[in-house]
Amino acid sequence: MVAGSIPQNQLVSNESRYQIYPSTMLNQSSSLGLSVKQIGILTPLIVHQFGDTFHVVDGFKRIDLAKALNIEELPCTVLPEESKPLTIATLLLQKDEMALRNSAVRKSLFLALCQKLGIDNDEQAPLLAILNIENHSRVIRQYLNVAELPHEVLSFCDEKGFSLKQCMHLSKHPRLLLNRLFQWREQLHFTAAIIEEILGHFKDVMRAENIDLKHIEEEESFIAIMQSKSNNQQRTQALRNWLRLRRYPRLSAIQKNMQCTVSDMGLPKAVKLDWDKSLENRALTITANITEPDQWPDICVSLADSATQNGINLLLEQL
Amino acid sequence: MSKRPHQQIKTITISNALQENTVTDSINIPDNALQYTDTAPKVKDYQTGKKHLHITEKRGELFHDCSSKHDDYICCNVKVLATVSNCPYECSYCFLQNYLTDSTLAVVGEVDAMITEVSEKISSEPWRIQRIGTWELGDSLALEDIASNTAPLVEKIAALPNVLLELRTKSDQVESLLKVNHQQKTVVSWTMNPQAVVTQEEYRTASVTARIAAMKKVADAGYLLAIHFDPMIYYPEWEQGYSELLEQIFAVIPQEQITWFSIGSLRFNPEMKKVMENNYPGSRATEAEMVLGNDGKVRYIKPLRVEMYRHLYQLLKHYAPDPYIYLCMERWDMWTKIFGSRPDSTAHNDFLMSESLYQRFPQLDFTKPEREQYEPGYELNR
């Protein structure tokens, strides 16, 4: 191992074979930037020599700053050319262990790197143990599938701390749809459940109506939602409602009729009628929220009214 | 003619314990393509598993209640005997793709051992008419032209009192059944859907025409029949499709030999949807509005199911009014909506089915069903 200064143009960073994370996941630390500006780069990068070039193993943020600040030479610790991939992977794990252990996305990307470096399953077993990853081909395949998600999606999942299962769900959606949804990220409010619901509905609507995403994006009602001046949460809610209506036209129409039936019954405000909105369970629930004793007689009269009975009959017919 | 399933089977292994066995003897491929083994193969991947057939000895208990049985439904109370595992067909909606832990295509070779288990387990209820299906984990007849445990099973079941074996299939492979001494104690049943659904969703299975022709052959050989319209699949022209299907069936098949019809619709665990979409991207089975019920199954919305079931029920009553008709995996209120009435319980439904069999097929010499035996204390619960 040799320490010394290496010209920036001999360092391979963006194309480094040890670049685990996409650039979207490398948040620049403002204090590092300030420090480098004031006293330069003190901590050497770790690089792996390949002939005349040096692939960065550790120090991607520092080299980005060096480029921005026109620093021509950087202090480096050079791993000899004959260093084994497993040695370097172990080094990477050691440098980023906490972040790797706490993120399904980072684990996925690390495993993908190990695979790219040609580290076989037996060799990587001790690394898996440190990361609490079950050494089973099915589990490893799940992580590797996640690693193939678009960079934007990976960054989001990492930022939100998504579990392997949540990431896995996303990895099963068509890439085109996934990419497009994440392009709307600044306009919508995302949680794992909301993303799943929206993607699922988009997919179902496109299949049921035999249309593509572009077709939906050109619809006026969709444009109106996405361009509305509401906040992200309201816009997301509007999109979810719009998709539900589109996905469940018949169910929505029945629900609307049932709500009209309830309105026509003229029940006192204290009385609520409810039912399973999926219509699967044939049951009506009537609740009365009584705060004053004199409400009760009125409620009784109202419940005994023939309009209530007719309304209940109509509602039960739908269930 | 359906594309024969054996065209996709790449290897066949036989458990060493079965070197002298009727199922092994029935294997219809050159000897050099067979391999005897002490170790049962284990294939994880659902579709890869379909390419490897293993003839296995009987392991563990194979006879039990149908796993669809649920307190929320009125069930038919059929028992199942898992004589096969996985299936060479590729139905887009098949629950096996999200169910099997070992996807190897397997046929149980030890028929005598299976009969012993059945005899022991039914001996405590000699009065009950037992319906036993072999279709729980695969098609009962799909592998008939490669390796068959069916003929000896049919013959041996016929010797058990009060038992009806049900072989349920989407195939047309019935030749091996035609000369078997079945004594009408085997019901050969078909799952039927319009040809448009067969083409779109039931890959590798026999066409509707081929299934009906096979139905006719077994009817002519004296077998009793059953037809399952389950799962009914929605598609825009479903109404016309099912009408034409019934017209096709009843132009050829006599209702007198039909024991029962079942009706049900597509349903699956929520996680199955993505599996289906990944395995069969061309499938359109889940296009219609579907909701999750509190039994954990996703189904078509109730108004659509009611519409589809009522349509089919009216047609069945027109073409074949006598066979017993039941709904599969549906709640009591659906029975009332479709039939205008309902059994009081699963036990009552079982009794009504048995009574129908007893009355319509006296030649089977079944014990007269008594409701008190099927549903002890039913009068007290009224």
User: In this predicted model, what pLDDT tens digit does every residue of A234-244 receive, in sequence order?
Assistant: 999 999 999 99
Q: How many CA atoms lie within 13 A of A302 on its CB side?
A: 18
Query: Using the beta-carbon criterion (under 8 Å), do B284 and A207 form an inter-chain contact?
Result: yes
Cβ atoms within 10 Å of B137's Cβ, excluding its own: 19
ipTM: 0.84
Q: pLDDT class for B31, splitting at 50, 70, 90?
A: low
CA dist B157 and B286 (Å) reads: 39
Nearest CA to A44 out of A91, A7, A4 is that of A4
pLDDT: which is higher, B382 or A236: A236
Q: Is the pLDDT of residue B3 over 60?
A: no
Q: Looking at the predicted structure, is the pLDDT value of residue B380 above 80?
A: no
> What is the reported pLDDT for B2?
47
Q: What share of chain A is helix, strand, coil (3-state, %, to 5)?
A: 60, 10, 30
Stated pTM of the model: 0.84
Determine what percent of chain B falls in helix, strand and coil, rounding each to the nearest 5: 35, 20, 45
In a mutagenesis test of the A interface, which of B42, B43, B200, B274 is the best target, namely the one with the most A β-carbons within 10 Å? Answer: B274
Residues in chain B with CB shorter than 8 Å from the CB of A251 are 289, 291, 301, 303
* DSSP letter, residue B131: E
Nearest by CB to residue B291, choosing from A172, A280, A318, is A280
Q: Is residue B274 scored above 70 in pLDDT?
A: yes
C-alpha span between B178 and B181 (Å, rounded): 9
pLDDT of B201 > 90? The answer is yes
Token pair 């018949």 is at which residue? A250
Round to whole Å and give the CA distance between A248 and B290.
8
Predicted confidence (pLDDT) per residue in B105-163, tens digit: 999 989 999 999 999 999 999 999 999 999 999 999 999 888 888 999 999 999 999 99
CB of A210 less than 8 A from some CB of B: no
Q: What length is written for chain B?
A: 382
- Give the pLDDT of residue B148: 82
Q: Summarize pLDDT for B154-177 with one digit per residue, the tens.
A: 999 999 999 999 999 999 999 999
How high is the pLDDT of residue A1? 67
> Which token pair is B182?
């079945």
The C-alpha atoms of residue B143 and residue B27 are separated, in whole angstroms, by 10
Residue A174's pLDDT is: 87
b/e string for B139-159 if b means 16 or more Cβ within 10 A?
A: bbbbbbbbbbbbbbbbbbbbe
Beta carbons of B294 and A281 less than 8 Å apart: yes
Fill in the DSSP letter of residue B97: G
**Banded model confidence at residue B278, pLDDT cuts 50, 70, 90:** confident
Distance CA B382, CA B380 (A): 6
- pLDDT tens readout for residues B49-62: 988 899 998 999 99
Q: Which of B289, B290, B295 to substitute to test the interface with A, most A CBs within 10 Å? A: B289
For chain A, give the percent of residues with pLDDT over 90.
75
Mention every residue, 6+ apart, whose C-beta is less than 8 A from residue A51: A81
In this prediction, residue B1 carries a pLDDT of: 42
- pLDDT, one tens digit per residue, over B326-339 is 999 999 999 999 99
The total number of residues shown for chain A amounts to 319
Domains, chain A, ranges and CATH?
1-83 (3.90.1530.10), 85-172 (no CATH), 174-247 (no CATH), 265-318 (no CATH)
Least confident of A257-261, B23-27, B117-121, B307-311: B23-27
CB-count exposure of residue B166 (10 Å: 0-12, 13-18, 19+): buried
Residues of B in contact with A276 (CB under 8 A): 294
Q: Note the pLDDT of residue B382.
A: 65
Q: Write out chain B residues lying below 8 Å of A279, CB-based.
A: 291, 301-303
What integer pLDDT is reported at residue B6 of this predicted model?
Answer: 62
**What is the overall mean pLDDT for chain B?**
92
User: CA–CA separation, A249 vs B119, rounded Å?
Assistant: 52
Low-confidence ranges of chain A (pLDDT < 50): none
Report whether A251 contacts B291 (CB < 8 A): yes
Q: Is the pLDDT of residue B34 over 80?
A: no
pLDDT tens by residue, B71-110: 889 999 999 999 999 999 999 999 999 888 888 999 998 9
Q: Are B139 and B171 in contact (CB under 8 A)?
A: yes
Distance from CA of A244 to the nearest CA of B (A): 10
**Quick one: residue A42, left, alpha or beta (phi over 0 = left, psi -120 to 50 = alpha)?**
alpha
CB under 8 Å, gap of 24 or more: what pairs does A21-27 form? A21/A60, A21/A106, A21/A109, A22/A151, A22/A154, A22/A155, A23/A151, A24/A151, A24/A152, A24/A154, A24/A155, A25/A105, A25/A151, A25/A154, A25/A155, A25/A158, A26/A60, A26/A61, A26/A64
